[in-house]
Chains A and B, each alone.
Chain A
Amino acid sequence: MSDSIPSSANGRGAALVIGAGIAGIQAALDIADAGFKVYLVERSPSIGGRMSQLDKTFPTLDCSSCILTPKMADVPRNPNITLLTCTQVEAVEGQAGAFHVTLERQPRFVDESVCTGCGLCTDVCPVITPNIFNAALDSHKAIYRVFPQAVPAAFVIDKRPSPCKITCPAHIPVQGYIALIAQGKFREALQRVREAGVPFVGTLGRVCYHPCESECKRADWDEAVSICALKRIAYDAGRDDEKPQPVPIQYEEHVAVVGAGPAGLTTACNLTRRGYKVTVFDALPSPGGMLAAGIPEYRLPREVLNDEIDYVLAQGVELKLNTPIGRDGGPSLEDLRRDHQAVFLAIGAHGSSRLGVPGEDLPEVFQAVPFLRHMNMGHEANIGKHVAVIGGGNSAIDAARCALRLGAEVQLVYRRSRAEMPAAPWEVSAAEQEGVKLTFLSAPLRVIEKDGHAAGIECIRMKLGEPDSSGRRRPVPVDGTEYVMDVDTIIAAIGQNVESDGLGVETKWGQFVVDPLTLETSAKGVFAGGDAVIGPASVVEAIGAGLQAAESIHRYLRGMDLRDGRSQDHPKSKDIQISPAEAVKRAPREHMPELPVAERINNFREVELGLTAEQAMAEAQRCLSCAVCSECNQCVTACQRGAIVPEDAPRRIEVDVGAIVVATGFDVFDPRRKPEFGYGKYPQVITSLEFERLASASGPTAGRISLNGHPPNKVTFIHCVGSRDRSLNLPNCSRVCCMAVAKQAHLAHDRLPGAQITVFYMDVRAFGKGFEEFYDRVRKEGILYRRGNPSEIVRRGDHLFVRAEDTLLGEPVEVESDLIVLAAGLTPRADASGLAQILHLVQGTDGYFQEAHPKLRTVESSVPGMYLAGCCQGPKDIPDTVAQAKAAASAAMILLNGKGANHASN
């Protein structure tokens, strides 16, 4: 999507200011006050920058927030400023006087113009995440305001990709229902999955192969979260007997869905909800497709399945059973296309591959799919006492376990080894526990016939050869190893195929050919998905296809672009880094009890018994909230103004400006690069920015300087951490740390009566107005300045010691400390090079943006029409930043006023 924002309202030209820290705010205010239009772009959700994180400012000890917030408040109040938060510059074209800028605005998920900042949303949000503004010293909710005086005051949702949701073929908001279960809100959890367009919650909770669990980040600590079992309890504990009301029909178009399996019913459910009339056709006498016909009852009780199908139908889906399409005397696809404006083919893969061996057509040789369908439809199955099941997939296991339950002795014959079995491993072991015998590396040669009946099967041993196209090693017969198995019944389960003949739609190997993104087939208005497209697969993939089809059909019928904004590219789960808000305590996953083998092998009662509510809540609490926002949508319910926009998407914004002021600020040096100081290892070692938050009245400790609740009484400050350090190739001075330390040492002295405060320094650079006087005052307060650059911080017992050479005494010293503050230097932004590329700016050897001349042209960049302000050009304190920002504003205004061309170009 792209937004056009009215450009220069007054025709006097406009400026773009990138970065809304104090430099960007000041530049924007000056330019706007003079009457020019300003676009102020900030990538975080609030303006204010680093200054808003500071407690007091040196040397006057003014409260940083108190002097900054009036300026922040002036920004939205200024009619000439358009403030764009959560926004970054994507591209810049043109030249001084006429830049065309492309911006990308990341979703805030909260409508700034509607949100009143009341905070009801944050009260109900179940997710906590580290509070980066407070240097991760405390946490906030997934929906939050950066700090109380943030501008704009609107809340923002921290929403990131999570491995489980990305991996799920139906992209179910896993973390959302888990967060609700963790609070015991089972009903809301069920509702959340259904809202996401997935009607088969109890079903998936039983039969899903849960690829999500394989990617769960919790496994990096102990074990994956038991996601599937949690989905099951969302249904089991959250269901009620209330059925949804039929959805009123909004559109006149009528949609036909062929196949009442999980794909077809999911599509029907979602299109009905959108206001379409949908009719589902199925060849079988009952709905559910493979869920009903293929999956045995001991895995999926029919009561659960039927309840979920009823949920779909109750919304107004019309169902026509016993109606095959394009065969067996049923209507043709053309008939459907005549009466319906769109068709979705979800006919599944109900055909069976033949064994291709002599004797296959004997009456005691069954195909697994019809065998299971026969039984699942409630018919008697006539099998013998000794059954061989041929194959290694889930259908083979289902057939074997069913045969076992009918009282037979069952052997499963698979031509590869256990490792290659396509069936879910937990299904295989359950079958084994129940008494199914597994024979690997063995393949049938012929069915032995006696009097027109099967009397055994001759097999041959196999060995594994070279890998085939599927990547699995190809089985090769071993000559002379033929043997006979004494069985009276054979069930073949070696493959399923799609019965796609007679529909007139392009297929390949019997499967419909579709556009993988939109599911369009070769026939206009006809879409296909599920097993009918990808071959026999899983329920969740079928549901995913159903959701995809519903979206496509809606767009198709509404004349919208079928591809816009859709993508199958997701971040790789291995690339997702997470930082849990609290230390993760090891806790193994909860396991659900099962019916004992003896109690289950002679009946079709459900084997897995589900988690208890207590187990489920404990299990759900193991979730690490990788996505931060769990998408539980409780904020949506809580917000009385309807300000939450869960589907908010990135937006592109184009603006035309004459001048650009770059004010993107700095990063703080990461002291982990100096491991000798133990930052990240010893909690007592913090950075100066963390100290600011500790000292701040609005910080995590409400201004009490304390660690774990204990006020320290031996505080040591270390200067020049990551500055003036050639060993790290950071030779430059960071300019502000000396005074920041002096100020912090004063605050420590003030707030920690009696504490011993030591400062290690190389040179004290108190160069600005009033600085030397402040430094004098601090020393007079009794703070001990020792000249020396500490070599390391060591731990002895429970105590930390700073080791240094006091160069004035000329001797090594050790200072015991219970709080050590590292004056971490300023560094260029990690992404400075990226921005430099976009803007064509030159960076100096230190990585900061290079000014045109170090003495006379301190705000001009290497690009005419682009000006530098604040620490993106080099470290500087607040007044120097403000002065430079105003200077940049002056340069920009000269250009915009159109009278300074001769100067701007020299």
Chain B
Amino acid sequence: MTNAARVGVYICHCGINIAATVDVPAVTEYAARLPGVVVARNYAYMCSDPGQAMIQKDIAEHNLNRIVVASCSPRMHEPTFRAAIAEAGLNPYCLEMANIREQCSWVHPVGYPTTWKSMQLVEAAVAKVTRLEPLQTRQVSITPTAVILGGGIAGMQAALDLADAGFHATLVERESNLGGHAARFYRTFPTQELAGVLVQDLLERVNQHPRIRVMIETEVTDVSGYVGNFRVKVRRNEEFTEIPAGAIIVATGFETFDPHLKPELGYGRYPQVVTTMDFEHAFAGREDSKQPLVVHEGSQQGGNASLAEANDTRMDHQRIQIENPKSIVFIQCVGSRDQSVGCGGNGSSAHSYCSRVCCMVTAKQARLVRETFPDARVTVFYMDVRAFGKGFEEFYDQARQDGILYRRGNPSEIIKRGNSVLVRAEDTLLGEPVEVEADLVVLAVGMRPRPDSEAVAQLLKLSRSSDGFFMEAHPKLRPVDTSMAGVFLAGCCQAPKDIADSISQARAAASAAMIPLMRGQVQVDAATSFIDEELCSGCGQCAEICNFSALSLHPLRGKMTVNAVLCQGCGSCAATCPSKAIMVHQFTLDQVLAQMAALSGWDDVSVALEKVETV
């Protein structure tokens, strides 16, 4: 045990979250008798200001040098308590949390001895905390520039914000044009503005901005470094460039669902069946309203070519000319809210999610049709109309008032009838099957992750959620952060969203990126791995397993070295090292074994070590 460890133990009721199943006073009494413990207390909410003040007061009055807080997961409040004890003059790493909520009070069936388990967890934490060493965090200066991957609406907006704030931004776009999907839209909902004008506005500002460098037809091949000092390798044709960057914003967008995957709807077989994107392009491409409307099938780009090729029923570039149509049908949720179709992205999950924009896209297009072909009957098949945004419900109301017939039902198939097609569905409000003849059927195709999102995820070490989109750090409070410090998400690569929400999120990502850029430095966590050179043989197994390229062989000493800035403290190296030469601060063998010894009732660490050796 470290000399004269003076431990304070603080047990949280968390309202009733812990106190309902754990006898907190009993745990407190138990803790007070543990070796090294000077004071043990409990409080309704340790994380509240009075709770923190209690710890700070005790540190001063009882000259405490180690603190144990038994409450929730350290993911939540470890930073809170570290900051609190630092304010009171302790090294912030002299803290150990015992998770008696997520790992105890919340998870056991009635009758489980949760109070006993809490005592064990507290005892283990006390055993560990007495062996913790003070550690120092470091500040690392940064490169005050940013790289934005993807030149759609989100990417352009993020680049503009960063550049406006005074930072150089490089916008990397794989295609030959900026603007992404939005560049090919006709009008936007709910205000019916020309999308081209909106995109043009952004484009001009991006192109004219002295601090934005645009790289088109360029792909990212490698990303190394860490927050504040990334190196992004890109390739244009055969030319490679390395761009240093303090922050990276991922705005790689989406692709639309390929309706060939739902052959019952006849896309690619009947020229009358088109997608909302085809329809959008047809309107956008028409030079004046007197011209007949020509809809090309498959006009969306960035589609999944391999799937399209695999589909032998597909006839490329079918087109249909619409003049004086009698009936036009829209079908919602094609490739959304649909468990029957797989998600190409990581292959595992169904398209069970909602694509968020299609309801309003359909309402907008339906109203456009109503305007363009006032004599045509316009029918929309829907499951739920999700008109949730500002002005959306009002827009949807107007669509119905314009005479657009909304029928609740999910069409089962489309069949050919003469020069037109027949949409078969059950109208669930009438409770009967219906057939609607149509000159044109527009499928509201959903949004899905891009096929290369797995590759991008690997480049940047991002996680993906089960729907295949990139995963944000926290679904509620950290919607643009990722698990990688310094890498942020914007737009539809994170989940489907409309233009307004994409813009907001892009600017949010810009704000997040600005914080380190404006500060000029970032703080590096001290809980990293370290090498015991006496034991290290320089075999390099650790470097192979490291996900963060944090380990390398010292060329002169023949031992491994750790780049503490890159190291995320995951511990893979420590687990791999055959000679126990690598350990992670805060999780040294000594500390972990002491914890295990306390938990298992083994007498001391040496016994624990023997037991572990034999396992």
Cα A880 to Cα B500 with chains together (Å): 11
Cα A351 to Cα B388 with chains together (Å): 79
Q: Which of B231-264 contact A (CB under 8 A)?
A: none
Instruction: Give A101 Cβ to nearest chain B Cβ, in Å.
Output: 22
Q: Is the CB of B515 within 8 A of A883?
A: no
Inter-chain contacts of B198 with A (CB < 8 A): 855-856
- Residue on A nearest B43 in the bound complex, by CB: A148
Cα A149 to Cα B49 with chains together (Å): 7
Q: Is the CB of B352 within 8 A of A858?
A: no
Which of A's residues lie within 8 Å of B, judged by CB?
22, 26, 30, 33-35, 57, 59-60, 62-63, 66-71, 73, 76-77, 116-118, 148-153, 697-698, 702-703, 724, 726, 731-733, 735, 763-773, 776, 787, 807-810, 844, 846, 848, 854-859, 873-874, 878-880, 882-891, 893-894, 897, 899-900, 902-904
Known: A33-B519, A855-B499. A890 touches B15 (CB 8 A): no
B461 on interface, CB distance cutoff 8 Å: no
- Residue on A nearest B199 in the bound complex, by CB: A856
Cα A879 to Cα B356 with chains together (Å): 15
Q: Is the CB of B514 within 8 A of A34?
A: yes
Cα A893 to Cα B52 with chains together (Å): 32
B610 on interface, CB distance cutoff 8 Å: no
Cα A897 to Cα B47 with chains together (Å): 35
Q: Is the CB of B518 within 8 A of A732?
A: no
Contact of B386 among A35, A767, A858, A897 (CB under 8 A): A767
Contact of A148 among B48, B397, B477 (CB under 8 A): B48
Cα A902 to Cα B393 with chains together (Å): 35
Cα A76 to Cα B87 with chains together (Å): 12
24 contacting pairs across A/B (C-beta < 8 A) = A67-B76, A67-B474, A67-B476, A70-B77, A70-B79, A73-B52, A117-B48, A724-B393, A732-B391, A733-B388, A767-B356, A808-B429, A854-B190, A854-B390, A855-B499, A855-B500, A856-B500, A858-B507, A882-B477, A882-B508, A883-B505, A888-B507, A899-B166, A903-B160
Cα A481 to Cα B391 with chains together (Å): 83
B354 on interface, CB distance cutoff 8 Å: yes
Q: A808-B428, A890-B514 are in contact. List 5 more A-B contacts (CB 8 A).
A: A69-B48, A153-B48, A733-B387, A735-B388, A883-B479
Instruction: Give B510 Cβ to nearest chain A Cβ, in Å.
Output: 5
Q: Which 10 A-B pairs have the closest CB atoms?
A: A153-B49, A887-B507, A886-B508, A900-B164, A890-B511, A763-B384, A769-B495, A874-B390, A117-B50, A34-B518
Instruction: Give A471 Cβ to nearest chain B Cβ, in Å.
Output: 57
Inter-chain contacts of A766 with B (CB < 8 A): 354, 384, 386
Inter-chain contacts of A70 with B (CB < 8 A): 47, 76-77, 79-80
Q: Which of B39-64 contact A (CB under 8 A)?
A: 44-45, 47-50, 52-53
Q: Is the CB of A883 within 8 A of B499?
A: no
Cα A227 to Cα B308 with chains together (Å): 88
Instruction: Give A374 Cβ to nearest chain B Cβ, in Å.
Output: 66
Instruction: Give B351 Cβ to nearest chain A Cβ, in Å.
Output: 10
B385 on interface, CB distance cutoff 8 Å: yes
Known: A62-B476, A878-B477. A856 touches B356 (CB 8 A): no
B376 on interface, CB distance cutoff 8 Å: no
Q: Is the CB of B495 within 8 A of A763?
A: no
Most buried by B among A22, A70, A883, A894: A883
Inter-chain contacts of A773 with B (CB < 8 A): 352-353, 466-467
Inter-chain contacts of A57 with B (CB < 8 A): 476
Known: A66-B72, A148-B15, A883-B479. A807 touches B429 (CB 8 A): yes
Q: Is the CB of B479 within 8 A of A882?
A: yes
Inter-chain contacts of B191 with A (CB < 8 A): 854-855
Q: Is the CB of A900 within 8 A of B165?
A: yes
B375 on interface, CB distance cutoff 8 Å: no
Inter-chain contacts of A697 with B (CB < 8 A): 14-17, 20
B480 on interface, CB distance cutoff 8 Å: yes
Cα A809 to Cα B510 with chains together (Å): 50
Q: Is the CB of A30 within 8 A of B386?
A: no
B188 on interface, CB distance cutoff 8 Å: yes
Instruction: Give A786 Cβ to nearest chain B Cβ, in Å.
Output: 12
B302 on interface, CB distance cutoff 8 Å: no
- Residue on A nearest B353 in the bound complex, by CB: A772
Cα A769 to Cα B492 with chains together (Å): 11
B394 on interface, CB distance cutoff 8 Å: yes
Q: Is the CB of A73 within 8 A of B49?
A: yes
Cα A848 to Cα B337 with chains together (Å): 31
- Residue on B nearest A770 in the bound complex, by CB: B475
Q: Is the CB of A151 within 8 A of B504?
A: no
Most buried by B among A34, A35, A116, A698: A34
Q: Is the CB of A859 within 8 A of B188?
A: no
- Residue on B nearest A887 in the bound complex, by CB: B507
Q: Which of B171-193 contact A (CB under 8 A)?
A: 188, 190-191, 193
Please, what's the 1-or-0 string for B93-133, where 1 marks a CB less than 8 Å from any CB in chain A? 00000000000000000000000000000000000000000
Which of B's residues lie within 8 Å of A, judged by CB?
14-17, 20, 44-45, 47-50, 52-53, 72, 76-77, 79-80, 83, 87, 157, 160-161, 164-166, 188, 190-191, 193, 198, 201-202, 205, 337, 352-354, 356, 384-394, 397, 408, 428-431, 465-467, 469, 472, 474-480, 494-495, 499-501, 503-512, 514-515, 518-519
Q: Is the CB of B16 within 8 A of A35?
A: no
- Residue on A nearest B359 in the bound complex, by CB: A767
Cα A473 to Cα B453 with chains together (Å): 93
Instruction: Give A867 Cβ to nearest chain B Cβ, in Å.
Output: 10
Q: Is the CB of B476 within 8 A of A887?
A: no
Q: Is the CB of B475 within 8 A of A769?
A: yes
- Residue on A nearest B390 in the bound complex, by CB: A874
Cα A903 to Cα B201 with chains together (Å): 12
Known: A879-B475, A886-B511, A893-B511. A151 touches B49 (CB 8 A): yes
Cα A732 to Cα B475 with chains together (Å): 25
Q: Is the CB of A893 within 8 A of B45?
A: no
Q: Is the CB of B44 within 8 A of A148?
A: yes
Inter-chain contacts of A117 with B (CB < 8 A): 48-50, 53
Cα A887 to Cα B510 with chains together (Å): 8
Q: Is the CB of A808 within 8 A of B49?
A: no
Instruction: Give A591 Cβ to nearest chain B Cβ, in Å.
Output: 46
Q: Is the CB of A809 within 8 A of B166?
A: no
Q: Is the CB of B53 within 8 A of A116?
A: yes
- Residue on B nearest A29 in the bound complex, by CB: B515
Cα A536 to Cα B155 with chains together (Å): 82
Instruction: Give A730 Cβ to nearest chain B Cβ, in Å.
Output: 10
Instruction: Give B5 Cβ to nearest chain A Cβ, in Å.
Output: 27
Q: Is the CB of B429 within 8 A of A886?
A: no
Inter-chain contacts of A148 with B (CB < 8 A): 15, 44-45, 48
Q: Is the CB of B511 within 8 A of A73?
A: no
Known: A57-B476, A874-B390. A152 touches B49 (CB 8 A): yes
Contact of B397 among A59, A151, A731 (CB under 8 A): A731
Instruction: Give A844 Cβ to nearest chain B Cβ, in Å.
Output: 8
Known: A731-B397, A874-B390, A883-B479. A118 touches B508 (CB 8 A): no
Cα A302 to Cα B420 with chains together (Å): 109
- Residue on A nearest B432 in the bound complex, by CB: A810
Inter-chain contacts of B408 with A (CB < 8 A): 787
Q: Is the CB of B475 within 8 A of A810?
A: no
Q: Is the CB of B164 within 8 A of A899?
A: yes
Inter-chain contacts of B469 with A (CB < 8 A): 769
Instruction: Give B390 Cβ to nearest chain A Cβ, in Å.
Output: 4
Cα A848 to Cα B391 with chains together (Å): 11
Instruction: Give B245 Cβ to nearest chain A Cβ, in Å.
Output: 17
Q: Is the CB of B480 within 8 A of A886?
A: yes
Inter-chain contacts of A67 with B (CB < 8 A): 76, 474, 476-477
Q: Is the CB of A733 within 8 A of B514?
A: no
Inter-chain contacts of A809 with B (CB < 8 A): 431
Inter-chain contacts of A769 with B (CB < 8 A): 353, 465, 467, 469, 475, 494-495
Instruction: Give A369 Cβ to nearest chain B Cβ, in Å.
Output: 62
Contact of B519 among A35, A886, A888 (CB under 8 A): A35
Q: Is the CB of B519 within 8 A of A34?
A: yes
Instruction: Give A787 Cβ to nearest chain B Cβ, in Å.
Output: 8
Inter-chain contacts of A767 with B (CB < 8 A): 354, 356, 386, 388
